[in-house]
Amino acid sequence: MKVVHVSDCFLPRLGGIEIQVAELARLQSEAGHEVHVVTATPDRDGSARIPQGISVHRVVAALPFELPIHPRTGHHVGRICQELQPDVLHLHVGAVSPFAWSALRVAARRSLPTVVTVHSMWDPITRGLYEGLDAGLRWSGWPVVCTTVSEAAAAPIRSVVGSRIPVHVVANGIDTAQWRPEPLVSGSEVREERPEDLPAEVHVVAVGRLAPRKRPLTLLRILRATRAALGAGVRLRATVVGDGPARGLMERYLRHHAMSDWVELAGRLDRAEVRAVLRSADVFLAPANRESFGIAALEARTAGVPVVAYAEGGVADFVISEKEGLLGRSPAELAAAVVRLARDHDLRTAIAEHNRATEPVRCTWPVVLSDFEERYSQARARAGNGGGRGGGQAGLPGGRRHVRRSRRSTPV
């Protein structure tokens, strides 16, 4: 099968969507499919490490800050589709993805079997935007299949499209072997022994981009409230992994509240370094209240760490309260959950042992790949032409019925 992924953002940018698309494309290529990626992300210095077997087509415009958009997306994506004749077009979108949305119009005009994966959670403003677009473009009537990464992310999409477009949940994938903890020595954790007259130490870890939507200051407020509630009985320390525009605000908050001696901003770490941090973690804290999935929380859960997160977010798809962690509905409830785990060694140990012994099966790559194969078959059936090769050109009213073939399938 020839699969063409379309994503505004791709390598060398590193983020949740970019990494998931790259890994999905790599595994599909290894499974024997012909895989292409079309993106508006430039690679001016050649730093992108593209997995072997994947062809990347960069539709790049000279814009400030290397914004991943192009004023003639439809023309160039149409040309690439005409050259490649894909069996399925797989579009990856965030809250607002103009590049991928332009590609969706191309797919509708050309009756290409199309799967759209929404990687973010629509807030009320975003939902209203897509309702407005639907009123003008009637996009919910296009023959596509939609997936998203969690039940929480699916709910607002279904409220817009109703029964006109099927919306399925296909989880983000994880290589569990990368995150599974090493076997415990003699059935117990290996930790530094502390004198009996010193309080027990609990290590809280958070991993994520330090950006406002990830609520980094809320994270620090939760940690501050937790430490105050624990008092002298438990010594709390925290490590925050990640970098981003909110780091300066966090540093000022830590200084103002005298937290710098027990909260470490570790910066951006690679996977091996994150695994090392998780090995010493007692609790993983996810402070974002609108997390569509929570790949960092999934990695921590797979590494055997109890997870504290919001009940309304995507983390709830793989964390059941009292089983893989504790869920709350407010910062105060998250702080109370961390306090409970810090004080209750038996509960913390039981959750950690469960997480070590069980695998989040729905999130493993074999299951994710199988789910997408099923969605691709569904998209081909909805397109009504059995696939993109030789498919009809009928589509949207007023749409061009042919895109001029070009020899260029490299950066524009």
Say what the pLDDT of residue 247 is.
97
pLDDT digits (tens, 9 = 90+) for 194-209: 555 556 899 999 999 9
Q: Which residue has the higher pLDDT, 385 or 40?
A: 40
The structure tokens listed for 43 are: 């690679």
- State how far Cα 218 lies from the chain centre: 20
Element (H, E) at 153: helix 151-161
Give me the pLDDT at residue 195, please: 53
pLDDT, tens digit, for every residue of 111-168?
999 999 999 999 999 999 989 988 888 889 899 999 999 999 999 999 999 999 999 9
pTM for the whole structure: 0.86
Ramachandran region, residue 186 (left: φ > 0; alpha: ψ -120 to 50; beta: rest): left
Average of per-residue pLDDT values in the chain: 89
CA distance 158 to 137: 17
Enter the tokens of residue 142.
Answer: 């296009």
Q: Could you tell me the pLDDT band of residue 254, with boundaries at 50, 70 and 90?
A: very high
Helix ranges (DSSP H) in 180-262: 216-230, 247-256
In the chain, what are the domains? 2-173+364-383 (3.40.50.2000), 176-361 (3.40.50.2000)
Query: Do 205 and 302 contact (CB within 8 A), yes or no?
Result: no
In this structure, how many other beta carbons lie within 10 angstroms of the beta carbon of residue 279? 14
Mean pLDDT, to the nearest integer, of 254-281? 97
Name the E strands within 262-362.
Answer: 263-267, 283-285, 307-310, 325-328
Classified as helix, coil or strand, 188 is strand
* pLDDT tens string 229-252: 999 889 999 999 999 999 999 999
Q: Which two tokens stand for residue 250?
A: 């966090």
What's the whole-number mean pLDDT along residues 306-326? 97
